[in-house]
Structure 1
């Protein structure tokens, strides 16, 4: 059987190098060709000739440009808002416990403290120069049944005990709210926390 004839060089397939795509060049900006008629239309500014309007359209446009004097008075009217009204609007709603604490008087707080004193066998010492509020708060600090007092403010500790159903005394919350309202300093931090921090600072 005769061997198959190979195609001549004239009919040979192009080499693989001729199939390769030409290298793209991004050095030149390529833009889309725009017809001259379109360029001429862009170059000419829009006509400023007044358009024909119906009498009704002119009347509507003229009345819309004029502002009602009543509207001007309403917009320019100054609103007198006092600082107390702004604070009242921004203040969060008080809880039921806070509402009960607001009704606690100084006399009730004094009776609460006297009741605690009667439960003791001996009289307290080294607290003669402390105010009643500080005595109540220090007793609150060492009341371990309501959780640890270190690393947490007295108000947050009371709220945590309330959430856990431990029934913390409302008199303590009343003292905290009274101290906050009169702008006292350092009442939120437990006395035990201050002692531990001062010891740690002194040891370094």
Structure 2
């Protein structure tokens, strides 16, 4: 069989053509993408952006407003509006909370031996901490986690909100932070 001959195509043999990336890309872009790129994005964080150089006039105006507010007698801030969920949580009794916990316990095969010294409220809150279907519990307060789950339509138990509100009214220390958060933020004994 005769040997095949490769054509050089006008180039010196054994050399590859040089690639150029300096040309303009002419890929078509949908009109919807062009509209999105031309209008500034309105994100929830956009309102928190701080401008680097405030106007001097704004500073003078804010100083004048502060003086006017200082001269006026301080008025008591009106109590914030309570949500529908908070109103429902206010109506929940201790008996309903206990029944809620008994229903959770009845799903288990055995009793929780390591939690015998805890109150029902603390047991419910710790169970809430490890209920992963409502989102992460680390780095966010229990109340904010409950509210986020409610906003997302995850139907968090209103009993948890009731316990949170009761414990907060009693002034219980550390009720807002998840127990898991305390464990992860603690330092190891003897480390160092």
User: TM-score when scaled to structure 2?
Assistant: 0.58
* Aligned residue in 1 for 2:105: 117
Go from structure 1 to structure 2 and tell me whether the alpha carbon gap of 1:98 and 1:121 turns closer, same or farther (over 3 Å shift).
same
Go from structure 1 to structure 2 and tell me whether the alpha carbon gap of 1:203 and 1:164 turns closer, same or farther (over 3 Å shift).
farther
Mapped partners of 1:174, 1:116: distance in 2: 16
1 or 2, which has the higher helix percentage?
1
Alignment of 1:34-183 (within 5 A): 86=76, 90-183=78-171
How far is 1:101 from its partner? 0.3
Aligned residues: 118
* Aligned residue in 1 for 2:173: 185
Mapped partners of 1:148, 1:134: distance in 2: 18
How far is 1:184 from its partner? 1.1
Q: Return 5+ residue gaps in structure 2 as ranges.
A: 1-75
Go from structure 1 to structure 2 and tell me whether the alpha carbon gap of 1:163 and 1:203 turns closer, same or farther (over 3 Å shift).
farther
Go from structure 1 to structure 2 and tell me whether the alpha carbon gap of 1:177 and 1:120 turns closer, same or farther (over 3 Å shift).
same
Decide which structure has the larger Cα Rg and report it.
Answer: 1
Runs of 4+ residues over 4 Å off in structure 1: 200-204
Go from structure 1 to structure 2 and tell me whether the alpha carbon gap of 1:203 and 1:136 turns closer, same or farther (over 3 Å shift).
same
Root-mean-square deviation over aligned CA pairs = 1.8
Mapped partners of 1:201, 1:130: distance in 2: 24
How far is 1:151 from its partner? 0.3
How far is 1:91 from its partner? 1.3
